[in-house]
């Protein structure tokens, strides 16, 4: 629609809409408390150990989330020193799967798009990244059927632990950047 609102605003508005639609009372204090929880979302149990195993690679986040949301989640999970960069669509004012967002990662990391390994649990995001030219890894925890978007991920994983086999890095090319 050629207009942009940051993800924090969209999340706030979606919460208000959901409460009204479900006829749930939600005071301003309750709304703020629920929104604040978004800043402290916990990772899945295996994430920290998996990221530690990937520490020899350049790691980045590329998200539709607003900078304050991303900073809150990264900090609250003790991951501040884990990522080379945390990229938000906020700087571009486009949401994924717009190609400019994926290009932002290649530009920021200064690597060709084919050298980026993109990991997501959202198939639509994997499809966008694959269409752009990234190697893609779909974390499919619920064992869902792939969306019919004409794209096949490089690999489908049950958890982030499956990204690299136990005991080594042989699961991904040496020149792959994981974001």
Q: What is the spatial distance between Cα 64 and Cα 160, in angstroms, rounded to a whole number? A: 20
| 3 state DSSP class of 153 | coil
Q: Is residue 175 over pLDDT 80?
A: no
pTM of the predicted protein model: 0.86
Angle formed at CA 117 by CA 111 and CA 121, multiple of 5 degrees: 140
Q: What is the mean pLDDT of residues 115-129?
A: 97
Query: Are the C-beta atoms of 57 and 163 separated by less than 8 Å?
Result: no
User: In the CATH hierarchy, which fold is given to the domain comprising 47-178?
Assistant: Rossmann fold (3.40.50)
pLDDT in tens, 56-109: 999 999 999 999 999 999 999 999 999 999 999 999 999 999 999 999 999 999
pLDDT in tens, 35-60: 999 899 999 999 999 999 999 999 99
- The total number of residues shown for the chain amounts to 179
Query: Are the C-beta atoms of 65 and 92 separated by less than 8 Å?
Result: no
Mean pLDDT of all residues belonging to the chain: 91
**Placement of tokens 């009204």 in the chain:** 20
């Amino acid at each position: 629609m050629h207009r942009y609102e940051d993800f924090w605003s969209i999340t706030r508005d979606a919460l208000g809409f959901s409460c009204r639609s479900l006829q749930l009372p939600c005071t301003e204090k309750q709304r703020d408390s629920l929104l604040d929880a978004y800043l402290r979302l916990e990772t899945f149990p295996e994430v920290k150990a998996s990221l530690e195993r990937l520490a020899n690679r350049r790691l980045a986040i590329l998200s539709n989330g607003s900078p304050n949301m991303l900073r809150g989640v990264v900090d609250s999970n003790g991951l501040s020193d884990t990522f080379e960069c945390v990229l938000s669509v906020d700087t571009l004012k486009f949401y994924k799967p717009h190609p400019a967002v994926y290009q932002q990662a290649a530009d920021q990391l200064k690597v060709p798009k084919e050298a980026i390994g993109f990991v997501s649990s959202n198939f639509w995001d994997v499809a966008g990244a694959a269409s752009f030219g990234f190697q893609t890894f779909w974390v499919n925890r619920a064992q869902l059927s792939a969306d019919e978007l004409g794209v096949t991920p490089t690999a489908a994983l049950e958890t982030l632990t499956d990204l690299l086999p136990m005991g080594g890095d042989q699961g991904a090319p040496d020149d792959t950047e994981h974001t």
